[in-house]
Structure 1
Amino acid sequence: MKEELSIDIIGLAGACSYALDCIEAELVNIKNKHGKRVAYISICMAEYWKIQGDELQDLAMCALLHDNALTQYISEELKKDSVIHCKKDLSEKKTNLHCIYGEKNITKIPFKTDVSNVILYHHEHADGTGPFQKKWNEIPLFARIIHLADTIDIIGNNTGSGNNSWNFICQYLLKNRDGLFDSECVNAFFHAFTHSESFICLSDNSFEMKLWEIIPRQKRVFDWKTCKNVADFFAKIVDYKSSFTSRHSIGVAEKAAFFAQYIGYDSINVQKIYLAGALHDIGKMAVGNEILEKPDKLTDDEFSKMKNHAGYTYLILSEVNDFEEIRDWAAFHHEKLNGKGYPFGKTAAELNEPERIMACIDIYQALTEDRPYKKGLSHEKTCEMLDDMAQKGFVDSDISKKIRECFGGIY
């Protein structure tokens, strides 16, 4: 595919950071917008070194995604532990594991500058007592900046706002200068934030507007390979949320793109539908695993909470500039032609073909994939169920028929 897709990649990273914040809020009680606050503190500190242009953009991207492997870490390393143990491990042990995973994941993101080891070492201490025992002069500057910004935001979250919080932060930084943090980064923080009033914007959310003023939301053009890598990066974060759907987003993305090609979509729209498939369940990051992983029938209240995920997908992806089309394709995958779907109760007249495709492909993928509590259905059985849904006015009958043809010789 030679055609290229233009994406607000920094906005997409910001949207993803919101989804990651939902996990941190669930596990360690860090309030939302943690990733964006870390990014804001980081880019304010960067002025001390006169960091500008592409470097500043990449610092912001790393800060927004510094905890990108959180769901993977929880899934692979802590799945047998209780939430209490998760909290303890996240704060005291094994932080190197989510750094290792995160560093590997981030290679899929097209940075403009070298950000090697930034995610890997963002929990290192200046005196060499961190997870990898690297001293400050062995740690990339961006990692040192993000480490301080991350720590300060967590402290601010725990101590509240106002002069008392500011005084505590100042004392903490001075006490841990040349221990947890190198002197340069401490100086950079006090250069950026000279008094409590300059720091107060982090608690009243006005910082977000300032963040995007400093970091312009410039769209970047990506070829198909890069677009796929970006989509897979975000899909992996979503799919690790629950072992019950460990490859669902990737599966939807792959099948939606394959089907779109089958019915004659051009390469740009194939890329768009792949990206929509990868992101369609990003809203599930805001839904607790006790609901996502319940093998029994959900109660009415639980099902109501589960249905919220499509609305969260819409909300999260609304943060990305010029992303409305992909957002709608992603978020409307539970809408029904008879108007009884969710999150908005769209009718047939309001649902275009890509949105109808996403609804059918999501069902097809969910029914055919294996889950811990069930074996996936055959292609034939799944198509019979899709046809039945079409007869009831839930999904598009033409698309259902074409899915039978498209995947008949494969699955």
Structure 2
Amino acid sequence: MTLPAVSLQDYIFTVAHAVDLVGLDDPWHGRRVGLLAAELAVLAGGDAASRKRFYHAGLLHDCGVSSTAVHQSLTAELEWRGADAHCQRGAALLLRCAPLAPMAELVRHHHTRWELLAASELYRSQPETALAANLVYLADRIDALSRASYADRSTLAMAPSLREQIIALSGSLFAPQWVEVFADASSREAFWLMLDSECVLDYQEEMRALDDGTVLSAEEFVAGAYLLADIIDAKSPFTAEHSLGVARLARFFASRLGLGDDRCAAIEIAGLLHDIGKLQIPDDILDSPCGLNEHDAGIMRSHSFATYMVLKRLKGAEEIARWAAWHHETPDGRGYPFHLHAGEMPLEARIIHVADLYQALAQHRPYRKAMSPEAILKLLQLRLDRHLLEPDLLALIAAEPDVVHRVAVGEAVPA
């Protein structure tokens, strides 16, 4: 197989969907910010390209957030002292993937007060970029202030006070020219009503239809997968670099089994993305220092299906989506979430399953210490005895236990 030709827009939407998982009780924040920024840009005289640019910037603005606690602070408070950290992280992530790099400065400054931004070197050298970043900030804060009204549909009742609050921040938090556009637009009920989740979803599909056909190169797709893996692994200090370790180990297994370079690269990508659904798991469950109760275990088991729901929208990468989502399936049909049997699981999915299991055991977790190669091999043998593991993959591990362990924990790169 060859790596799929994934559209840039589909990839951006996938990142946005992944980041919005972190919102838990509000999975629409990024998409509402995109809508608001795009519509205000159009009302200010922006063209179709400007509309798309601001929509994409809104979708990606919180890509530096993986923690549910941080997300709740950012969407519940007008200004938050720790906000700049996720701006810096988000900008650094975007700079690592060339097609997204032009939006890095917008993300970097989407919590910078206008009175500071207007006096900055960025404004002196790139005034349009500074203004664009401030429009994303304005859209972000409109949604944050409106958040409490979505559950009981009281947005119109709250709109006058929200409008006054934002207008009062002209010149301090927000550029006067953007506040002027907002003041005019927000005097209409339609401005506030379009923030309903159904309208946000319709807007997303409208924007999806405007795809210009830009496709990621193979190198850009891999870079984009690593970007997503960094977002995933930042979710918890106990799973930091887990996705990278699974990807390394899965590629190592695939190479040892004689699979071609493109197939190995596709398996590596599936390894990088397999835990994307964990972004929706609350921090306290993921970092629990003891065993999970039935309720929390049920929430945890939802993550692989969430991975499937995020990745299946990446057109052309449907196979990779399935391999990634099936990482908790077992040959006996007792895995989850689809309860596949051995004959239904392709080799790639079986590789991801074993790589995920091994790497997790080799890594320190809040409820246990990292296990030695010998202890892991014994545990895997027990799983083989219960028909929960592929004999060929266990044989690979048994043949080179020390090498496999070093690959899993990042101490060696396979030749």
TM-score in terms of structure 2 length: 0.84
1:153 to 143, 148, 152: 143
1:399, 1:310 → 2: CA distance? 22
Aligned residue for 1:245, secondary structure, equals: coil
Asked if 1 retains the 8 angstrom alpha-carbon contact of 2:330 and 2:341, the reply is yes
Report what 2:408 is aligned to.
none
Alignment of 1:8-407 (within 5 A): 8-25=7-24, 31-47=26-42, 48-53=44-49, 56-71=51-66, 91-111=79-99, 114-128=102-116, 137=127, 140-160=130-150, 161-189=154-182, 195-215=188-208, 216-217=210-211, 220-371=214-365, 374-405=368-399
Q: Is the 8 A contact 1:125 1:133 kept in 2?
A: no
Q: Answer whether contact 1:5 1:268 (CA < 8 A) is retained.
A: no
CA contact (8 A) 1:17 1:64 kept: yes
**Contact 2:22–2:68 (8 Å) recurs in 1:** no
Letter of the structure 1 residue corresponding to residue 258 of structure 2: G
Is the Cα contact below 8 Å between 1:73 and 1:101 reproduced in 2?
A: no
CA contact (8 A) 2:39 2:51 kept: no
1-structure distance, mates of 2:236, 2:89: 17
Seq. identity, %: 26
Q: Give distance in 1, aligned partners of 2:207 and 2:140.
A: 19
Q: Tell me by how many angstroms 1:153 deviates.
A: 0.9
Q: Return 5+ residue gaps in structure 1 as ranges.
A: none
Of residues 268-277 and 305-314 in structure 1, the stretch that sits farther from structure 2 once superposed is 268-277
For the residues of structure 2 that align with 1:122 and 1:302, how far apart are their CA atoms? Answer: 34
Separation in structure 2 between the aligned mates of residue 301 and residue 112 of structure 1, nearest angstrom: 39
The answer to whether the 8 A contact 2:77-2:144 is kept is no
What letter corresponds to residue 156 of structure 1 in structure 2?
Answer: S
Corresponding letter in the other structure for 1:6: A
| 1:223–1:378 distance in 2 versus 1, CA, 3 Å | farther
CA distance, structure 2, for counterparts of residue 117 and residue 159 of structure 1: 31
Count of residue pairs brought into register by the alignment: 398
Q: CA deviation at 1:73?
A: 11
Q: Deviations over 1:14-35 (max 9, x none)?
A: 333334334344xxx6x22101
- For the residues of structure 2 that align with 1:39 and 1:312, how far apart are their CA atoms? 22
**Residues of 2 paired with 1:212 and 1:110: CA distance?**
25
How big is the shift at 1:404?
A: 3.5
Letter in structure 1 aligned against 2:30? G
Shift of residue 135, structure 1, vs aligned partner: 7.1
Stretch moving more, 7-16 or 388-397:
7-16
Match for 1:10: what amino acid?
A: Q
Equivalent-residue separation in structure 2 for 1:59 and 1:96 (angstroms): 20
Report the Cα distance in structure 2 between the residues aligned to 1:184 and 1:239, rounded to whole angstroms. Answer: 39
Structure 2 unaligned spans of 5+: 406-415
What is the distance in 1 between the residues matched to 2:266 and 2:391? 23
C-alpha contact (below 8 Å) 2:281/2:303 kept by paired residues: yes
Aligned equivalents of 2:401, 2:215: Cα separation in 1: 31
Structure 1 residue identity aligned to 2:41: A
Contact 2:111–2:137 under 8 Å retained in 1: yes
Letter in 1 for 2:342: A
Code of the residue aligned with 1:261 in structure 2: it is: S
Give distance in 2, aligned partners of 1:389 and 1:70: 36
- Indicate conservation of the 8 Å contact 1:126/1:135, yes or no: no
Residue 150 of structure 1 and its aligned partner are, at CA, apart by 0.4
Displacement of 1:283: 1.2
User: Can you list the C-alpha shifts for 1:61-109, whole angstroms capped at 9, x where unaligned?
Assistant: 33212112223797xxx8xxxx999999994212222212221121122
TM superposition shift of 1:263: 2.0
SS in 2 for 1:339: coil
Structure 1 residue identity aligned to 2:27: N
Assess, with a 3 A threshold, how the Cα gap between structure 1 residues 334 and 149 changes in structure 2: closer, same or farther.
same
Q: Contact (CA 8 Å) 2:323, 2:348: kept in 1 or not?
A: yes
Describe the superposition over 1:262-294 as per-residue Cα deviations: whole angstroms up to 9, x where unpaired: 323233322222221111111111112222222
The normalised TM-score by structure 1 is 0.84
Letter of the aligned partner of 1:282 in structure 2? I
Contact 1:162–1:196 (CA under 8 A) maintained in structure 2: no
Change (3 A) 1:152 1:239: same
Separation of aligned partners in 2, 1:166 and 1:360: 53
Shift of 1:169: 3.7
Residues 10, 291 of structure 1: CA spacing in aligned structure 2 closer, same or farther, 3 A cutoff?
A: same
